[in-house]
Amino acid sequence: MDGMAGGGGEGGPARGRPGDAAHASDALGGAARPGHQLATWVALGAALVGVLLLASVRSAHGPQTHPDYPSRNLPPEPQALLLPPSPADDEYFPCSDCHEGEPTNRTVRELEDDHEDLEIAHGEIWCLDCHAAEQRDLLHLANEATVEFADSWRLCTQCHGSKLADWRAGVHGKRTGHWWGPKQYQTCVSCHDPHSPRFQPLEPEPPPRRPEAITQAAQARQETAREGP
Amino acid sequence: MKDRERGETRPVRGASRREFLKTAAVGVGALAGVPGAARAFDLEAFFQKHLRELSNQDIEGVLRRLEDKYSRQYGKPVRVAATGPLDGVVYGYGLDIGRCIGCRRCVYACVEENNQSRDPEIHWIRVLEFEREQAIRSIDLEKGNPYYDHEKVPAEGMFYLPVQCQQCDDSPCTNVCPTGATWMDPDGIVVIDYDWCIGCRYCMASCPYGARHFNWSEPRIPTDELNPDTHLLGNRPRPKGVVEKCTFCIQRVRQGRYPACVEACPVGARKFGNLLDPSSEIRYLLAKKRTFVLKAELATRPKFFYFYG
Amino acid sequence: METLSIFGHFVMGSARVVTHGTRGFYLWIAFLAALIATGALAYSNQLTHGLITTNMRDQLSWGFYIGNFAFLVGVAAAAVVVVMPAYVYEWKPLKDVVLLAELMALAAMVMCILFVVVDVGRPERLWHLLPGIGNPNFPYSLLVWDILVLNGYFVINLFIVTYLLFKTYAGQEYNSSFIMPVIFLSIPLAISIHTVTAFLFMGLKARPFWHTAILAPRFLASAFCSGPALLLLTFQVLRRVGRIAISNEALYKLGELLAYAMAVNLFFLGMEVFTEFYAPTAHVIHADFQWFGVHGQRETGIATYTWLAFAANVGALLVFMIPLLRRRLPLLSAACVLAAAGVFIEKGMGLLLPGMTPDMLGEVYRYHPSLNEVLVGVGVWGVGALAFTLMAKVAMAIDRGELRYQHSEARPIGPGSWRR
């Protein structure tokens, strides 16, 4: 710096007079060089920032992950397990206890002597459309073939055929367990009462808190904290 | 700490530094979930770099530090894993809008599984109730009501639409985050590094689904309700001042399990699987059912599909 | 070396200037200190309990702080309204005041940065934004760009004013071939800071109220109203307390420029209003909220303020436009207050609230800033006012010729070099 000022010769920093403005840059010989030095440092600094920024450019839209994540593959998937339905109602099962040897009344009617508490709300069907008249511990299909209670889903899917494919694929009905791994699904009667299959409304869980309430709760808590234990 | 008090200098590096910090943390670590409680300033946590720049060993160190911290804070052993994505998997979600009855079992199953703050309350899933008659032309999200409080659901003439993070393929949130604290992992889950987020909430402004939530104060989780099986980028307890959201239960799905909401739904309205597997449940419903996504015109390409079952 | 030594004297001299003054000066500083202290206490409360001390919630995640930020970026950018005529067109009356305008820009920038700092949830992690040690999401995140241009503009402006002040202090003529390119660079940079800030909002396709191309032009137009309006008011204070020469012509010229700016501002507003209301989509609900309150609710929300701001802007325009009115200083000053208030409402809460109300799932959360939020904001404004006061005091002392480098070779004591 001293060398440069000395090199200026004409007495160091230029005198500031309005008229000199036009020649200021000439007269400033010595003072101009620190300015250029500064400009160079600034340019270098800006370039450094630019390089660092470019280095941090990553593809934002492609998936990204940790470069060292070990590769993890899926093992072969086991079959989905169909859970058995819950055991039949003790009060009524086995049906043969009462219905053994009884003559069958095939008249479609509303039951009055027994089973009158059963709510039947299942379209046009009535008891013997599903229950095998001669073997009350079994159900029967439309072609008269008998079916165990545990396989009751075979009855449902006679009419509700579209549901069968969906249910087998896992899109109808609830599945638990693993999306890849042991999973369980359930028969129709696990969720649908076969006599009145429509879901009954449930009591919902509480609604979320409104944002204003969150403020009030926070304020209340702060006041309690201020009051002390 | 004792060394400091005696005025001795002690070289602190590596394990001994960790020891030092642990000792310092013990004294104040017992204050679980109390806001404003003074905590020893965790130097290691402060200088922790972005997850992508940490070696596997560093990550192990982070996990152990967090496990230590949470175990002390909640008085029971907490595990934090950083399980990576499975190869050949991109997760997709299906929601049967014809079946949802608005019971909110999913909301609270999520809260429990994912250690969401109870007070101030955070819910990652929001169930909107719509009047059927209002929605004949289209679902106008302006008309949804999340605060319904009927005795029984579904209420007469109403239908329900649960909303959570859509894990968009072209997510605005990952685009706008200034520090790169949120990104999409190869298995399609949009994750947040809670140790890197600066809490600017730009991502919240950019999310069209209101799926991101902020810890406006220190989260409070009752110890007996804490889920101790956690994932670094998922359900481990979050600090105040950072953003969080649904991660498709990353701690479960990367072990092959269903997310908690899928398992909780009593009517089986929630479906989940691998979009790259043609035999998966999600692929079945995408092929066979009428599906739609929310705000499709925004071209965010969500992986959360609503369908009519 | 010599330059450094002179610079050292410059710093010491400035320190002396800012620590001595009239009783009025001390009272003003005490008042600002009280504001800052209050703000600091409120911020400490926020650090302890988290941002729950504000009234922002998930449903409205940006509010008072970012509203102030948007307004103040505009004020900072508006220095260009003075810089352009002063340096590009060499218009003498404005050349008198250009340095003070740049000082206001600097003070506004300080406030902008502070408003961002108080808004983030983890301020100790702000280093995550820095290239090299952090991980800035460049070039995708507009916030990173905003930080770049804001800091760039700040540094350039700081450099310009320091250079000009120092040169005058040292009795040296400034090297126009060195500083003029830098000054010319600050002009597009000023435009860019506000454009990038507008991009911050415009780039959010989730928010239809903001996702409009005219947002950046609106930002600039309203900035060019608020900035010069504040300058006009400040100059009148400064020329009295600072005993510097600022001609009425400069003020009237600013007023004239304000007429153009406000006319364009209102024109752009008209564009938005037409687009929203002539062929409304479902998204009109945000504009509805802004002008009428949400339908079906008794409360009008911010609608009252929106109309007030509109009236204020129109009133201000009339005064700016009509020379008979404009050339009456008290009336001009009143118009400036109206313009600044109008823009503050329109661009602060009037931008943030309708953008976020209703939220993404249709919920209307009625937000107003909490006391803690307002106190923090007041503290930040106090810091900005203090920064401006101290810088202006030094600048005016140099301008008056009282703060000069005393050297054995006596220099002619003249006014600030930026006036030439």
pLDDT at residue A29 in the model? 39
B163 SS3 class:
strand
Mean of the per-residue pLDDT values of chain C: 92
Residue C219 has pLDDT above 60, yes or no: yes
Nearest-CB residue to C172 (from A5, A13, A212): A13
Give me the residues of A, 149-188, that contact C with CB < 8 A: none
- Across residues C130-151, what is the average pLDDT? 92
Cα atoms in the 13 Å half-sphere on the side-chain side of B50? 28
Q: Helices (DSSP H) in chain B: which residue ranges?
A: 2-5, 15-29, 43-47, 56-74, 105-113, 172-176, 202-206, 250-253, 260-264, 281-288
Q: Which of B7, B213, B257, B241 is nearest to B113 (CA)?
A: B257
Least trusted range by pLDDT, from A10-24, C19-33, C181-195, C307-321 = A10-24
Write down the residue that tokens 């066979």 correspond to. Answer: B288
Residue from C46, C143, C360, C364 whose CB has the most chain B CBs within 10 Å, to mutate: C360
Residues on chain C touching B180 (C-beta within 8 angstroms): 135-137
Q: Residue C385: count other Cβ atoms within 10 Å of its Cβ.
A: 19
Mean of the per-residue pLDDT values of chain A: 76
Residues on chain B touching C356 (C-beta within 8 angstroms): 205
Give me the residues of A, 35-54, that contact C with CB < 8 A: 35-36, 39, 49, 52-54
**Number of inter-chain CB pairs under 8 A, A vs C:** 96
Can you say whether the dihedral through the CA atoms of B171, B175, B181, B187 is positive or negative? positive
pLDDT at residue B230 in the model? 96
Chains in contact with C, where contact means 3 or more Cβ–Cβ distances below 8 Å, are: A, B
> Is B242 in contact with C122 (Cβ distance < 8 A)?
yes
Least trusted range by pLDDT, from A62-71, C234-243, C284-293, C387-396 = A62-71
Write down the residue that tokens 């400069």 correspond to. Answer: C250
> Is C204 in contact with B205 (Cβ distance < 8 A)?
yes
pLDDT at residue A88 in the model? 66
Flag whether residue A220 sits within 8 Å of chain C, measured between CB atoms.
no
Distances (CA, A) of C268 to A33, C211, C213, C302: 48, 15, 11, 20
Residue B51 corresponds to which amino acid?
L
Strand blocks (E) in chain B: 79-81, 91-96, 126-131, 158-163, 182-184, 190-192, 213-214, 229-231, 243-244, 270-274, 290-292, 304-308
Flag whether residue B148 sits within 8 Å of chain C, measured between CB atoms.
no
Q: Helices (DSSP H) in B6-91: which residue ranges?
A: 15-29, 43-47, 56-74
pLDDT at residue C33 in the model? 98
How many angstroms separate the CA atoms of B248 and B237, rounded? 16
> Is C2 in contact with A12 (Cβ distance < 8 A)?
yes
pLDDT at residue B27 in the model? 37
pLDDT at residue C354 in the model? 95
Three-state SS string over chain A comes to CHHHHHHHCCCCCCCCCHHHHHHHHHHCHHHHHHHHHHHHHHHHHHHHHHHHHHHCCCCCCCCCCCCCCCCCCCCCCCCEEEECCCCCCCCCCCCHHHHCCCCCCCCCCCCCCCCCCCCCCCCCCCHHHHECCCCCCCEECCCCCEECHHHCHHHHHHHCHHHHHHHHHCCCCCEEEECCCCEEEECHHHHCECCECCCCCECCCCCCCCHHHHHHHHHHHHHHHHHCC
C360 SS3 class:
coil
Flag whether residue B218 sits within 8 Å of chain C, measured between CB atoms.
yes
Distances (CA, A) of B155 to B133, B148, B150, C206: 13, 9, 7, 31
Q: How far apart are the first and last CA of chain B?
A: 63
Residue C307 has pLDDT above 90, yes or no: yes
pLDDT at residue A21 in the model? 36
Residues on chain A touching C172 (C-beta within 8 angstroms): 13-14, 16, 31
How many angstroms separate the CA atoms of C73 and C52, rounded? 26
Nearest-CB residue to C132 (from A18, A52, A60): A52
Flag whether residue B150 sits within 8 Å of chain A, measured between CB atoms.
yes
Nearest-CB residue to C52 (from B52, B217, B243): B217
Distances (CA, A) of C54 to A153, A213, C404: 57, 13, 47
Chain centroid to CA A128: how far? 43
How many angstroms separate the CA atoms of A166 and B289, rounded? 10
For C218, residues 6+ apart whose C-beta sits below 8 A from its C-beta are: C198, C265, C268, C269, C272
Residues on chain C touching B52 (C-beta within 8 angstroms): 135
For A45, residues 6+ apart whose C-beta sits below 8 A from its C-beta are: none
Residues on chain B touching A214 (C-beta within 8 angstroms): 120-121, 216
- Across residues C102-107, what is the average pLDDT? 95
Q: Please provide residue B81's backbone torsions phi and psi, each rounded to the nearest 5 degrees.
A: -115, 165
Measured CA angle at B92 (ends B87, B96), to 5 deg: 155
> Is C205 in contact with B217 (Cβ distance < 8 A)?
no
pLDDT bracket for residue C114 (50, 70, 90) = very high
> Is B52 in contact with A64 (Cβ distance < 8 A)?
yes
Give me the residues of B, 162-191, that contact C with CB < 8 A: 163, 172, 175-181
The string of pLDDT tens digits covering residues A57-69 is: 765 455 666 766 6
pLDDT at residue A65 in the model? 66
Q: Residue C387: count other Cβ atoms within 10 Å of its Cβ.
A: 19
Listed as own residue / partner, the contacts of B275-281 with beta carbons closer than 8 Å and 24 or more positions apart are: B275/B90, B275/B91, B275/B92, B275/B188, B275/B303, B276/B88, B276/B89, B276/B90, B277/B88, B277/B89, B280/A179, B280/B92, B281/A169, B281/A170, B281/A171, B281/A175, B281/A179, B281/B94
ipTM value, please give it.
Answer: 0.92
Residues on chain B touching C116 (C-beta within 8 angstroms): 200
Helix crossing, C142-169 with C176-202: angle to 10°?
150
Residue from A69, A163, A179, A219 whose CB has the most chain B CBs within 10 Å, to mutate: A179
Residues on chain A touching C148 (C-beta within 8 angstroms): 49, 53
Helix (H) or strand (E) holding C210: none
Q: Which chain C residue is nearest to residue B176, measuring alpha carbons?
A: C141
Residues on chain A touching C58 (C-beta within 8 angstroms): 211
pLDDT bracket for residue A48 (50, 70, 90) = confident
Q: What residues of chain B score a pLDDT lower than 50?
A: 1-39
pLDDT at residue C242 in the model? 85
The alpha carbon of residue C322 is apart from the nearest alpha carbon of chain A, in Å, by 37
Flag whether residue A208 sits within 8 Å of chain C, measured between CB atoms.
no
> Is B179 in contact with C137 (Cβ distance < 8 A)?
yes
Least trusted range by pLDDT, from A206-215, B97-106, C380-389, C397-406 = C397-406
pLDDT at residue B133 in the model? 85
Give me the residues of C, 34-53, that contact A with CB < 8 A: 49, 52-53
pLDDT at residue C413 in the model? 59
Exposed, middle or buried, A65 (CB in 10 Å: 0-12/13-18/19+)? middle
Residue C411 has pLDDT above 70, yes or no: no
pLDDT at residue B272 in the model? 97
Most confident option among A88-102, B128-142, C56-70, C240-254: C56-70
3-state helix, strand, coil in chain C (%, to 5): 75, 0, 25
The alpha carbon of residue C259 is apart from the nearest alpha carbon of chain A, in Å, by 34
